[in-house]
Structure 1
Amino acid sequence: MQSTAYAASRLDRLPLSGFHWRLLCVIGFGLFLEFFDLYTGGAIVGVLLKQGWSTLQLNALFGTLTFAGLTVGAMMAGIIGDRYGRRLAYQINLVVFGIASFAAAVAPDMYWLSAIRFMMGLGIGAEAVISYGMLGEFVPPGFRGRMLAFLSVFGNSAVFVGSLVNLWVIPHLGWRYVFVIAGILAITLWIVRRSIPESPRWLETKGRIDEAEVVLQRIERSVARGGELPSYAHEVPAPTPQVSIGVLFTPPILVRTLVGSAILVCIGFSIYGLINWLPTFFIQQGFDIVKSLTWTTVITLGGPVGSLLGVAVSDRVGRRPAIIASCVVTAVCGLIYQQVDSAFALMGVGFLLVCSIYVLVAVGQGAYVPELFSTSYRLRGTGVCMTAGRLASAGCQFFILWLFTKGGVLMVVGSVVAAQLLLAFAVWAIRIETRGKRLEDLDSGVPGAPTTERSHSYSSGQ
C-alpha cells in the first residue's frame, strides 16, 4: 500500500478547467443561498411587524437567534469538516437548513418562528466556513486567489435576487412561501452536491490514501479529456499530526488566529455596523424615505463592484497588498465622507467606501483567512475566525446605536476608519503573503506539520 497519493503536487499542477468552474458554481450557490436567506429574512420580519404578527421585541429576538445560529453553525462546521470531511459537513448543513426552512413556513407564531430561525442559522451558518476552505484545496495556486474571491460575487448577487423575490412573492403569495422557496433551493443544492468529491488533501491527512487516489484519478480524467497533463513532483509529505482545536490558541498559530479573526471582525463591523444602518442614518438626518433608499441603493452598488475588483487584484498584486490597500482606501473615504455636503459627492464617496470594504470581503475573507491554516485544521481555524466575526456583527448593533446618539453618523464612520487602519497594521505586521504558493508551503510551524523535501511556486501561466 502506497504511503501518499501526492495530492498536493497532482492538484496544483492542473490547468484551470471546467472541473474547477463547475466546483466554483456548486459551492458558490451555497453562499448565494446564505445571503438570500439573510436578506429575505430581514424583509419578512418587517412585513410581520406591519401585519401585527410580531413586535419590535420579537423582531429583535428573531435577529438575535439568527445570528446565534449562524455563529454556532460556523463553529460546528469547522469541527465536523476537519474531523469527518468537508463533503459530509456540506451535506449535513443543507439538510438542517432545508428542513428548518419548510418548518418556518408553517410556524404558528413568532416564538416558534424565532426558534426555527436558530436552526436555519445553524445550517446555513456552515456555508462560508466550508466553501472557502474546500474550494481552495482544489484550485491551483496561480488561480486560487481569484477563484476564492469570486465566491463573494455569488453572495452579493443574492441581495438583488432576494429583493425581487420579496417584491413579488410576499404581496402575491405571502411571506411563508419565501421560506418554501429557500427550502426547495436547499434540497435542490443538496442533490447537486452529492456529486462533489471529497478533498484529496484532507483524505491524505487522514491516511485514506486509496480514497484520495480514486478522487484524484477522477479529477485528472475530467481535466485531461484524453490529453496529456503536466508532470508533477513526487514529493512525500511528512505525517500530518492530528491536533485539537487548542492549536489555534497556541504559538505560532495564535497570531494567525488573531489576524484572521480581526479581518472577519472588521468586515462584520463595517457591513453590519455601517452599511446596513445607512437608510436609518439618512432618515434620522432628515432625508425622506425615498431619497434615503435611493442613496443607499446607489452606494451599495459598490458591493458587487468591490467583489469583482477583489477577483481582479487577488492574484495580481497579492493578498496582503490588496487587504492593506482596501483598508487604507476605506479609511480615506471615511474621512472624506465626514466633510462632504453635496448629495452627489456623498453618494460618490459612499460608493467608493462600500467598494473598498467589499474588496476586503473578497480577498480577506475569501482567500486570505483559509490560507492561514493547515489542511488538518483549516476549517476549524476559519470557523473560529468566522465565529468572532459573527459575534462582532451581532454585538456591534447596540454599540453603533450608542455612537450615533453621541456623535451622529460622523462618529460611526470614524469608528469604521479606526478599525480599518488597525487591521491594515495587523496584516502588514504578520508578513505572510499567500499569492502563488501551495497550501503546504504556507503551513504554520506546528511541530510535525506536513512539509516536503522541496517547495514550488506555480503561476497561472504554467
Structure 2
Amino acid sequence: MKSIQVRTPVHAGARLDRLPIGPFHRRVLTLLGLGMFFDSFDNNLSASVLAAMLDGKWSTLEENSLFLSWGYFGLMLGVWFAGWLSDRYGRKIAYQFNLAVFGFMALLAACAPSMEWLIPIRFLMGIGMGAEYLMAYGLLAEFFPLASRARCLGIVAIASGVGVFLTALVAMAVIPTFGWRAMFVIGGVGTLWVWWLRRHLPESPRWLERVGRNAEAEEILQQIEGEAAKLAPLPPYATDAPRATPRKVPVSILFSRKVIGRTLVAILVNVTCLVGAYIMSGWMPTFFLQQGMSVTKSLAFNAAMMTGWVLGPMLSVYVADRFGPRKGVITFGLVCAALGAVYPFLSNPVAIAGCGMLLVAAVSLCLYLGLGGTLELFPTEYRFRGAGLAQTVGRGCLIASPMIIMGIFRTYGIGGVIGAVSGLYLFAALLLAVAGVETSKRSLESLDPDQHGDDRQRDSTSGQAEIAVQANH
C-alpha cells in the first residue's frame, strides 16, 4: 500500500461536504438502509410474535411484559456500549459488532424452548439491535455532504419504515402457517447477510482526523474523491472552514456548561420519540386482542395502521430537506398531539384505522428526525457518546413502561394510552421550539459548541459554507 504523506491539515469535514452525491454515497446509503430495515424488522416483530404466543397459550401478558422490558434493557446497554466503542475505537468496529450480535441471537431465539429461555435471548439480541439507529444516522452525518444530509436521513428512514410495515405483513402471512419462530429466522438471516455486505465500509475520515490518524483519513478521502472526480471536476473546499483538531475528551463533557443544554434536549427528545414509537408499534395488536379481536383480525387491523410507518418516512424526505430535523419534529410533534386528542373519540373502524395510520406516520417521522438530528448536536470526538447517552436514557424509560402502559390501558383503555402519548409530543415540540439547536444546512464542524457558543444563531462561517455548497449543487 502506498504511503501517504500528510503535511497539511486534512480538512475532512470541508472536503466531504463539498462533494456531489456519487456511487460511494449510494453504496453507503444502501447498506445503511438495509441495516435499518432489518433492525426495524427484528425490533418490531415482537408485536405480532407476542400476540401469537399469547393466543397459543405459549406466554402470558406478564411474560410478554418481561420479554419487552428485558429486550429494551438490552437495547439500552447496547446503544451506550456502541457509543463508547465508536468514539474510542472507531465507527467501523461498532457497526459490524452490533449486526453480528443481533443476527446470531435472532437465530437462537427461533430455537428457544420456553419463555424462560426466550427472554434472556431477547436481552442479548437487544444489545446488538440497540446500536443500529445510532450507527446508521451517525455514519450518514459524517459521510454525506451537508446539502444532502437531511434528505438522505429521510431516505434511510424510508428503509426503516418499510421494515416496520413489512413486519406486520410478513407476520400475517408467516405466523398462521409457519408459526412465530419463522419471524426470528427471517430477521436473523437477513441481518447476517447485511453484516457480510458491510464488511468493506470504510472508517469515518472525520473520526480519524479527530484522533490524529491523518494519514488514514487522507487515504480514505482520496479514494472517495477519486471516485467522485470520475463523474465531474470536484469543486474547491474552504480551507478557512472550521477545522478539526485532535483531542480526547471524557464523557463528563456532556455535562459541562457549554454542552449540558444540548445533552438535556437530546435526552428529552429521545425519551418522547422512543416511547411514542414503542407504544404505537409494539402494543397495538395486544390491545386489539384484549378488546376481543381474533389474532388474524388484530394483525390485519395493525397492518392497516402500520402503513403509517411507510407514509411518515416518505414525508420525512421532504420535511427534512425543506425544514431540517428540529422544525420537522416541532411541526409533527404538534400533529401527534392533535391526532392523539381525536383518536380516543372515534368509533368507526375505518376512521380508527385511518386516524391511526396518520398518527403512526407522524410518530415515525418524529422518531427518525428526532434520533437522526440528535447526532448532529455533538462534535465528532464525542458524537456517539452524546447521542448514545440520549438513546440510553430513552430506552431505559421503556424498561418500566410496559407495566405503566398496562396500568393505563386497564384503567382508561386505548384512549388513555394514546392521550398520554399526545402529552409527551406536545411537551417535546414546545421544548425544541424554545431550547432546540438549529442544525439544518450547517456543517458538523460549525456546530461544535467549543467553537461557537450561540446555539440559536448561525455563525457567518457556516452561513458562507451553506451558500457555497448550494451553489455547487
Return the TM-score normalized by structure 2: 0.88
Alignment of 1:5-404 (within 5 A): 5-49=10-54, 53-170=58-175, 175-225=180-230, 227-235=232-240, 237=243, 239-282=245-288, 293-366=299-372, 368-404=373-409
Contact 2:47 2:281 in 1 (8 A): no
Contact 1:253 1:446 in 2 (8 A): no
Q: Report the Cα offset of residue 223 of structure 1.
A: 1.6
Determine if the alignment matches structure 1 residue 457 to structure 2 residue 466. Answer: yes
Q: Report the Cα offset of residue 8 of structure 1.
A: 0.9
Contact 2:265 2:436 in 1 (8 A): no
Q: Could you give the per-residue CA deviations for residues 328-387 of structure 1, whole angstroms, max 9, x where no partner exists?
A: 112222223344444444333333222222221232222x11111111111111111111
Q: Report the Cα offset of residue 311 of structure 1.
A: 1.1
Contact 1:326 1:356 in 2 (8 A): yes
Contact 1:100 1:117 in 2 (8 A): yes
Q: Which deviates more, 222-231 or 197-206?
A: 222-231
The verdict on how the C-alpha distance between 1:321 and 1:95 changes in structure 2, with shifts beyond 3 A counting, is closer
Percent identity among equivalent residues?
39
User: Counterpart of 2:466 in 1: which secondary structure?
Assistant: coil
User: Counterpart of 2:200 in 1: which secondary structure?
Assistant: coil
Contact 2:51 2:286 in 1 (8 A): no
Name the CA distance, whole Å, in 2 between partners of 1:400 and 1:105: 27
Q: Could you give the per-residue CA deviations for residues 405-433 of structure 1, whole angstroms, max 9, x where no partner exists?
A: 33333332322222111111110112421
The verdict on how the C-alpha distance between 1:64 and 1:339 changes in structure 2, with shifts beyond 3 A counting, is closer
Give the aligned CA root-mean-square deviation in angstroms: 2.8
Q: Could you give the per-residue CA deviations for residues 37-81 of structure 1, whole angstroms, max 9, x where no partner exists?
A: 123344444444555554544443332221111111000000000
User: Counterpart of 1:232 in 2: which secondary structure?
Assistant: coil
Letter in 2 for 1:152: A
Contact 1:150 1:362 in 2 (8 A): no
Q: Which deviates more, 205-214 or 437-446?
A: 437-446
Q: Report the Cα offset of residue 281 of structure 1.
A: 4.4
Letter in 2 for 1:100: M
The verdict on how the C-alpha distance between 1:347 and 1:383 changes in structure 2, with shifts beyond 3 A counting, is same
Letter in 1 for 2:72: F
Q: Which deviates more, 45-54 or 202-211?
A: 45-54
Contact 1:132 1:370 in 2 (8 A): yes
Name the CA distance, whole Å, in 2 between partners of 1:293 and 1:49: 13
User: Counterpart of 2:161 in 1: which secondary structure?
Assistant: helix
Q: Could you give the per-residue CA deviations for residues 415-459 of structure 1, whole angstroms, max 9, x where no partner exists?
A: 2222111111110112421111100011123799xxx99442255
User: Counterpart of 1:457 in 2: which secondary structure?
Assistant: helix
User: Counterpart of 1:230 in 2: which secondary structure?
Assistant: coil
Name the CA distance, whole Å, in 2 between partners of 1:196 and 1:374: 22
Letter in 2 for 1:352: L
Name the CA distance, whole Å, in 1 between partners of 2:287 and 2:189: 36
Return the TM-score normalized by structure 1: 0.90
Letter in 1 for 2:312: G
The verdict on how the C-alpha distance between 1:400 and 1:20 changes in structure 2, with shifts beyond 3 A counting, is same
The verdict on how the C-alpha distance between 1:419 and 1:161 changes in structure 2, with shifts beyond 3 A counting, is closer
Contact 1:141 1:460 in 2 (8 A): no
Q: Could you give the per-residue CA deviations for residues 306-336 of structure 1, whole angstroms, max 9, x where no partner exists?
A: 1111111112123322111111112222223
2:456 corresponds to? none
Structure 1 unmatched runs, 5+: none
Name the CA distance, whole Å, in 1 between partners of 2:360 and 2:112: 36
User: Counterpart of 1:19 in 2: which secondary structure?
Assistant: helix
Name the CA distance, whole Å, in 1 between partners of 2:279 and 2:246: 40
Contact 1:248 1:254 in 2 (8 A): yes
Letter in 2 for 1:325: T
Structure 2 unmatched runs, 5+: 1-5, 454-458
Name the CA distance, whole Å, in 1 between partners of 2:350 and 2:58: 39
The verdict on how the C-alpha distance between 1:306 and 1:106 changes in structure 2, with shifts beyond 3 A counting, is closer
Between the two proteins, the alignment pairs up a number of residues equal to 458
The verdict on how the C-alpha distance between 1:166 and 1:135 changes in structure 2, with shifts beyond 3 A counting, is same
Name the CA distance, whole Å, in 2 between partners of 1:382 and 1:340: 38
Contact 1:311 1:362 in 2 (8 A): no
Name the CA distance, whole Å, in 2 between partners of 1:291 and 1:188: 33
User: Counterpart of 1:318 in 2: which secondary structure?
Assistant: helix
Q: Which deviates more, 305-314 or 230-239?
A: 230-239
Q: Report the Cα offset of residue 173 of structure 1.
A: 5.1
Letter in 2 for 1:250: S
Name the CA distance, whole Å, in 2 between partners of 1:174 and 1:406: 32
Q: Could you give the per-residue CA deviations for residues 101-144 of structure 1, whole angstroms, max 9, x where no partner exists?
A: 34334444432332222221111211111110111101111110
